[in-house]
């Protein structure tokens, strides 16, 4: 690549072999060398036949692959949160490790050593960096810069066995009591709490939704049927760097877009909240701040920690996600692991169902009945939570919890292996 100083601007130029085999000059002009180079790379990423005799080869620095892949990333149809996660992992972990190598020097052995070093620090980090490296070198492979993807020959990562805990019925009731009593004493200064976080906890407990999914619920997502309340999960509240939390119009995955039955104790909380809203607020989130905006994940977690302190559970490591684990445990023991996975939105849609069978819009009310029996505030039946977990159940619940742990990690795009 040739960079020319034009005085107040810079021109980046390269000879590029087009899809017809002919070499042509491609250039881009900008106010700095870096911008000119980036603009040229974006043009090349869009150009037909890119890679055949273009910028990348086995002798290209790893950093050039990173820049071109980032230009391609901008054009991909994935969420901005996933893109941000990819950029962060590349900047913090992957690029510094391989910056001084050419593409031909990044061997399977070097990648293996790097992944083992990452796994020694964190399985999650190793998993994310392996996914990212796989995409980077698949990009280089598709554009004829290398003969094989060095990631493909590396060892499979071994996921460490984790002890997944659900809330006990005693803990559920202790948090309930602390939430009801929070900031209600005679010595409390300032405005009294509006009870929203307390009610959010009840809905989390009764629906096993992700916290962001509960925060994203709107009146238009709630249906009252003769059999009971049904909630349509079709959005989530997300946090992005540099912007305030906002409602995203789709949940984490396609399987997460689901209709679920709501047990009566949680349905009653939702009905009381709906009664406070007007007919023109059908698309305002049920749980919202004084300005009508979403309640942030940060504020939810902060208030929940105060509930834990009041319940004497401050040092237990409990988070709002434990409500989801608790629901999964109750349903797995009461109805089976498949019912639990379906209720939590972890099912995979089969090709036949997705392309040839009309969708079944009926809602299984059995999970709501089981959750109501075990987790209702008055006279709950704690037999299912008190039972010990067998090995099959532990493995299945670990898979469910592991999928949720990926909420903040990059999604794997099947079109970019």
- pLDDT value, residue 184: 87
- Residue 98, Cβ neighbours under 10 Å: how many? 21
Q: Contact 203/269 with Cβ under 8 angstroms?
A: yes
> Can you give the pLDDT at residue 361?
58
Task: Give the helix, strand, coil percentages of the chain, each rounded to 5.
Answer: 50, 10, 40
Domain ranges of the chain: 169-408
* Euclidean distance between CA atoms 163 and 135, whole angstroms: 31
CA 366 – CA 234 distance, rounded (Å): 21
Closest CA to 40 of 83, 90, 2: 2
**Which CATH superfamily, name and number, covers 169-408?**
Intergrase catalytic core (1.10.443.10)
Question: What pTM, to 2 d.p., does this model score?
Answer: 0.65
Selection from 32, 4, 28 nearest residue 16 by Cα: 28
Long-range contacts at 164-168 (CB < 8 A, ≥ 24 apart): 164/325, 164/394, 164/397, 164/398, 164/401, 165/322, 165/325, 166/322, 166/325, 166/326, 166/328, 166/329, 166/330, 166/385, 167/318, 167/322, 167/323, 167/325, 167/326, 167/385, 168/382, 168/385, 168/386
Residue 30: CB atoms within 10 Å:
16
pLDDT per residue as tens, the chain (417 positions): 788 888 888 999 988 766 556 778 888 899 898 888 888 888 877 665 444 445 688 888 999 999 999 999 998 888 787 888 899 999 999 999 999 999 999 999 999 999 999 999 999 899 999 999 999 999 999 888 888 999 999 999 887 776 677 899 999 999 999 999 998 878 878 778 899 999 999 999 999 999 999 999 999 999 999 999 999 999 999 887 778 889 988 877 777 888 999 999 999 999 999 999 999 999 999 999 988 899 999 999 999 999 999 999 999 989 999 999 898 888 888 888 788 888 888 754 332 223 232 344 568 888 999 999 999 999 999 888 887 767 766 676 666 666 565 544 444 443 343
């Amino acid at each position: 690549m040739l960079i020319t100083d034009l005085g107040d601007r810079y021109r980046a130029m390269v000879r590029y072999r087009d899809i017809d085999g002919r070499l042509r000059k491609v250039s881009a002009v900008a106010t700095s060398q870096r911008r000119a180079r980036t603009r040229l790379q974006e043009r090349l990423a869009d150009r037909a036949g890119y890679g055949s005799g273009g910028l990348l080869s086995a002798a290209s620095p790893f950093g050039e692959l990173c820049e071109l892949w980032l230009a391609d990333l901008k054009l991909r149809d994935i969420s901005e949160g996933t893109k941000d996660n990819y950029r962060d992992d590349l900047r913090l972990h992957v690029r510094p490790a391989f910056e001084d190598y050419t593409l031909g020097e990044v061997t399977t052995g070097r990648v293996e050593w790097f992944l083992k070093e990452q796994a020694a620090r964190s399985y999650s980090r190793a998993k994310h960096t392996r996914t990212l490296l796989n995409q980077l070198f698949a990009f280089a492979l598709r554009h004829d810069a290398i003969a094989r993807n060095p990631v493909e020959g590396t060892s499979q990562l071994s996921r460490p066995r984790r002890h997944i805990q659900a809330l006990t019925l005693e803990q559920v009731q202790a948090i309930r009591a602390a939430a009801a009593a929070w900031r209600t004493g005679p010595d409390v200064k300032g405005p009294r709490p509006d009870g929203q976080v307390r009610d959010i906890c009840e809905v989390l407990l009764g629906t096993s939704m992700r916290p962001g999914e509960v925060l994203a619920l709107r009146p238009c997502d709630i249906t009252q049927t003769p059999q009971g309340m049904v909630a349509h999960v079709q959005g989530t509240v997300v946090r992005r760097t540099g912007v305030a939390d906002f409602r995203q119009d789709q949940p984490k995955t396609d399987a997460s877009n689901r209709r679920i039955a709501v047990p009566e104790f949680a349905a009653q909380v939702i009905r009381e909240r709906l009664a406070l809203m007007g007919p023109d607020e059908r698309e305002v989130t049920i749980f919202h701040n004084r300005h009508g905006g979403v309640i942030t994940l940060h504020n939810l977690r902060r208030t929940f920690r105060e509930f834990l302190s009041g319940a004497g559970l401050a040092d237990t490591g409990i988070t709002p996600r434990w409500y989801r684990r608790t629901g999964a445990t109750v349903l797995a023991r009461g109805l089976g692991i498949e019912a639990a996975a379906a209720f939590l939105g972890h099912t995979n849609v089969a090709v036949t169902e997705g392309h040839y069978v009309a969708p079944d819009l009926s809602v299984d009310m059995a999970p709501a009945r089981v959750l109501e029996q075990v987790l209702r505030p008055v006279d709950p039946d704690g037999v299912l939570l008190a039972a010990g977990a067998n090995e099959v159940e532990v493995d299945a619940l670990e898979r469910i919890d592991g999928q949720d742990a990926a909420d903040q990690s990059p999604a794997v795009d099947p079109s970019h292996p």
